[in-house]
Amino acid sequence: MAQNHEFDMPVIVAIGEVVDRPSDPASAREPVDLMADAIRAADRDAGGQILSAIDSIELVGQVSWRYRDPVGLLAQRLGIAPACAINASMGGETPIRLMHEAALRIMRGESKIAVVVGGEAVNALGKARKAKITLPWTPLASREDAVKLDFDRLPLSRSAKKAGVTDPVHIYPLYENALQAAEGKTPAVGNEESAALWARFAAVAATNETAWLRTAPSAEEIGTPSDSNRMISFPYPKLMVANPSVNQAGAVVLASKAWALAAGIPEDRLVYLWGGAAAQEPGDYLLRDGYDHSTAQRAVLGAVVDLIGGDASRVDLAEIYSCFPVVPKLAMATLGLRPDVAPTVAGGLIFFGGPLNNYMTHGVCAMVRKLRAGEGKLGLAYGQGGVVSKHHAIVLSTTPPSDPLVPDYSVQARADADRGPVPALVEEYSGPARIETYTIIYDPKGAVRHGVVVGRTPDGERLIAKVRKDDESSVAVLTSREKNPIGTDGHVRIDGFGNMIWEDGPLRDRSKRQLQHCLVERDGPITIVTMNNPDAMNALSPYANEELGEVFDAFQADPDQWVAILTGAGDKAFSAGNDLKFMAKMMAKGENVGTPIKGFAGLTDRYDMTKPVIAAVNGVAMGGGFEIALACDIIVASREAVFALPEPKVGLAALAGGLLRLPRQIGLKQAMGMILTGRRVSADEGRELGFVNEVVEPANLMATARRWANEIIACSPMSIRASKEAVMKGLDELDVRSAQANQFRYPAMAALFRSEDIREGPLAFAQKRPPQWKGR
């Protein structure tokens, strides 16, 4: 039987919205109740004809509260049992996709009354936490039991995670800055345009009764950073960033035109869905062809303009997704709407509010109201999900379309054909790199946390690197309002945490930098390193450990340096280990500094050091401080020195090698006695146990350490290195026979037999003269 196009035509028959602003945080309503109220509001909008007839509910991916089955609970709240009840996926385009697919099902006769609904209560949760209130909501589901949804996490490369660029608020600015550069605009001009655009959104929100922020700030207020409008991620301050701290729900109900008319719904309240288009970018933002455009967005918006006859001037009303200014900027440049057409009918994700994945439901509700009121005949609703990832747009009208909906609305082939070559992504790189795009990430107080550069190597490969906040020159390049830095040349190095770091200008000589955390003295072939934080018992922050790692890198690489002595500044401590005050401060800021790859003092995770290191322990060596000393080859201790691994007393463990090195050095039972009690051990007892080589009076400590160093440098440095390597690697062999057989394969042993020193020793002995060691 042939279908009747007019009879089966899908239409929007009802809309409902709810905003919850309780004066008492304890009375805030949970998301599923807000959604139930939104559907009830839609039922009233249709004259009470909807609720009992619903056969399909699709719930937009919900985030603010964990439910086992939110759509099932919603149906229970409404007292209905629809045949189709789906917990849908995440993504800002999801409401548009669900409406489009519901319309197709209605056209095919698979559904009569379909509801798309979503809701969030992030604001309520934030206020409850602040007031220390337990909300009387549905018990929170465990992470294991909570509903699983598609696209609940962004697909991200290891490079993106390492650079700390994993949140949309830090990724969209990469597009904004690239777009400004492509258009030849300075950041100052780009900021003015963003602020003016956002002021248009704010003005619309001010007239929308369901909007969250209705104060309509001016373009100047929006674009000027202040205490209440702090920088989030360059170039965006807070008022240019989507606002999820709302309690809002919305519902859109679709049915066939025939059902609507039979139910007595007036025809002038029906809104027709003409069709739409969808396409996606590669999920990982680092695997895209560029950042000044989106081929998927271009394809989708181009297709919907084609749907209305290729003339965008026919569009009277628009809802352009607006999580960040760059999205509507790109979309509006593609569409070419009439100047009098505002980019929003609801108010945007900042001022109307950004109920996470469900904003476009509200956008369609606002558009339906305006179409019904005769404020336009044709509307375009464009949603976007992920980070410029998923794109979907539909056309709505007060008049019926001339043709039925097209079942296949994907324009992916069109997007893919338009896409340029995608550069290869390099995970590890050091060398020249030019800025492709960039941003600066700020902390909650508006201070720079670190910069980010997406760069290109001379071979055209792509990388993402951090910019250290203490690199004032590079940060100044990225924060300039007068010059866009895209195209600026710089260099990438690998820092002590294993991160790629971009620095402006030519490659810098790290050996000439000012040391902040230690002192270094060279006396002939002896390097003396002093941990320099005496006011905090020489406790070491991650940055201090990184600096010491670079110092020992330089020592290890310098053929003229043969022995190192490590000590602490002052007369109280060698090192108290981890700088807990610094770590607490970083945690309070929400910063995770990480652990340098070479460990405490650049030694505890360094397993290829063949040059000897002497620890001159001048006082307390606790926790990480003791682990540093254990990582050295010889320990000379002041009689006032104290050693311990006290971590178990504060619920921690000595995981920087102490639990492994101590049993090797003094035997299992004695080591367990120290480890399991966390007890303090004096220098004299340390010598009895076997981990201290010599105990001296405090005044004689450094002289004694130098005496040990002088005795070592009297020997061939090549022999010393080969001997140390044979000992350390031999401990990992199965037995002495294996170790003895394999020692000739060790690099330092092979270097010894190729060296000048191996000939110099016997020759000097034969000539009855002191040997002249070369160390090579």
Q: How far apart are CA 293 and CA 607, in angstroms?
A: 47
Nearest by Cα to 609 from 568, 564, 657:
564
Q: β-pairing, 634-638 with 694-696?
A: parallel
Question: Is 521 one of the catalytic residues?
Answer: no
| Residue 11 burial class via C-beta count within 10 angstroms: exposed 0-12, middle 13-18, buried 19 and up | buried
Sign of the dihedral defined by the CA atoms of residues 50, 54, 60, 61, in that order: positive
Question: Is 627 one of the catalytic residues?
Answer: yes
Q: Supply angle C-alpha 737, 741, 744, rounded to 5.
A: 145
**DSSP code per residue over 751-771:** HHHHSSHHHHHHHHHHTTS--
Tokens describing residue 57: 């509910």
> Which residues are 431's β-sheet partners?
492
* Helix residue spans in 48-147 (DSSP H): 70-78, 94-108, 122-131
Marked catalytic residue, from 521, 647, 711, 725:
647
**Residue 182: φ, ψ to 5°:** -65, -30
SS3 sequence of 632-690: CCEEEEECCCEEECCHHHHCCCCCCCHHHHHHHHHCHHHHHHHHHHCCCEEHHHHHHHC
Q: β-pairing, 694-696 with 489-494?
A: unpaired
Tokens describing residue 760: 């110099």
Nearest by Cα to 390 from 402, 398, 401, 382:
382
Marked catalytic residue, from 17, 319, 627, 725:
627
Tokens describing residue 602: 């650049």
Ramachandran assignment for 670, one of left (phi > 0), alpha (psi -120 to 50 degrees), beta (any other):
alpha
Q: How far apart are CA 376 and CA 398, in angstroms?
A: 8
**Number of other residues whose CB lies within 10 A of the CB of residue 734:** 8
Q: How far apart are CA 532 and CA 527, in angstroms?
A: 15
State the catalytic residues: 627, 647
